[in-house]
Each structure stands twice: as structure tokens, then as C-alpha cells.
Amino acid sequence: MKKIALILFVCLLTSISIVYSSLIEVGVPESLKGKINSLVYDNASNIVKFPIEFYNTGSVPYKARIKAEILDDNETVFNGWSKERELMPGDKKVFDIYWYNKSSGAYLVKLKAYFGNEIMEYGKFELRINRNLEPEDIFEIKNFRTYDDYIIFDVQSKEDLNNLIVMPNKYPLGWIFEQKEITNITKDNPRTVVINYYPSLWIPSNVSLSIAAGKGKYYTEKTLEMKKNEGLVGLFYYIIDKVRIAFS
């Protein structure tokens, strides 16, 4: 009887070992990988749109964003950052970046993907702009305030619009500033806009905001001082702005 029990016990251990070994064999090794899957840009107007599809080809989830650098004669004229998005393994998502072009010509575009702790350069390609409109200045920025990782302000338009794009275009080197698309704008009805940014090291500085709509027909650019309010004044505006965000 003891021999039979011993044999059964050995068989049980053997079967467990086989199952465990099988589980180890079919396990997927972790890999942090990704690629820009497709890029089709629209340069039919002053507002150039880059819809960039990024593909998580690895086995771990991560957050990702895309950067577009525009160069004219080897001089950087614009850095545009997409919104950060989450990608699970196998996910494909489109990251939109906009650029308002002020003059015709041939430009060089460099794309980079930032995902996990990796940076991947897509390469360079030439972008030709042949169309240029003389835009109307119809936007006004009010109630601009700065916090640790976002700015908030109201945009006033003189026209009813389906959408507008807010593009930070001049800010401290090494910072990341996301863009923002706002829909269903009515004149004389200000819209609250919140834009996330990520400073490498925060210091009081300036940011230049471009607002464009109507395929480039409407355009406003304004430079604003990024300065935090401190103490009771800062707390007062913080509460007000949180209410603005909640109802925006």
C-alpha cells in the first residue's frame, strides 16, 4: 500500500513539473517596442495636419506621444507635440499634430516617437507649401494663468466656428507643450482652454500661442508670461480655475 502511495505521489510531482515547464515555455518575454505605422499629411491650407498612426508592437503597455520638428534651411521653426495616449500591446492609435504655416516654400519634417523610456526617430521628409492666405485676426485670449503642469485661459472668437486649433509654438527649449482642438465655437461666448505642459525644470518664462481656424483663414498669435500666483491670491485663482475646468 505504501509503495502504491509513493508511486502515485511521484506521478503527481512529475505531472506538476510538466505543466509548470509548459507554462514557462509558452510565456511571452517582455519587450518594449513600437513603430510609426502610417503617416498621411494634409498641406492643402495654411494649417498643416499630421495624423500619425503609432503601433505598439511589443508585449508591455505604455504611454506614447509624437513630436514633429519643422525645419527651414536647417533652422527649427516649429516643434509640435501630440497629446500623450495609452497603448496596450497590439494597439494602434492616431496622434494628431498641427502646424500653422506663414509662408510658402520647402520645409523638412522630422518625426520622433516617445514611448515608455524609448525614443524612436521615424526619419525625415520634405514638405512643400504652395498655398498661403492672408489671415484675419479674430481671436482674443483672456484670463491666462499658469500652474505646475498646465495653463488655462479663455478664447473669445468674433465668428462662429466648427473648430479651432491652439498650437504653442515658442516656449523654453526642452519643455513639452501639448496642442488642443476645440469644437463648436460661438462668437461672444468665451471657451475655457486647458493645455498640459511638462517642463524639464520650471522657471518663469514666456509661451507664444497660435490659434487658427477656417483652413488658415483666421489666425491669432500672442505671447504670454508664464508666472504662477502664490499665497492666498494663488489659492483664490486655483479654486476659480478648478470651477472653470469643471464647467468647460
Domain annotation for the chain: domains and CATH numbers:
35-129 (2.60.40.2360), 139-247 (2.60.40)
Asked if 245 contacts 192 with a C-beta cutoff of 8 angstroms, the reply is yes
- pLDDT value of residue 247: 84
- pLDDT value of residue 77: 93
Asked if 135 contacts 45 with a C-beta cutoff of 8 angstroms, the reply is no
**Which of 123-127, 153-157, 203-207 shows the lowest per-residue confidence on average (mean pLDDT)?**
123-127
Asked whether the predicted pLDDT for residue 139 surpasses 90, the reply is yes
Annotate 106-157 with DSSP letters as a single string. Answer: EEEEEEEEEETTEEEEEEEEEEEE------B--EEEEEEEE-SSEEEEEEEE
Question: What pTM does this model have?
Answer: 0.84
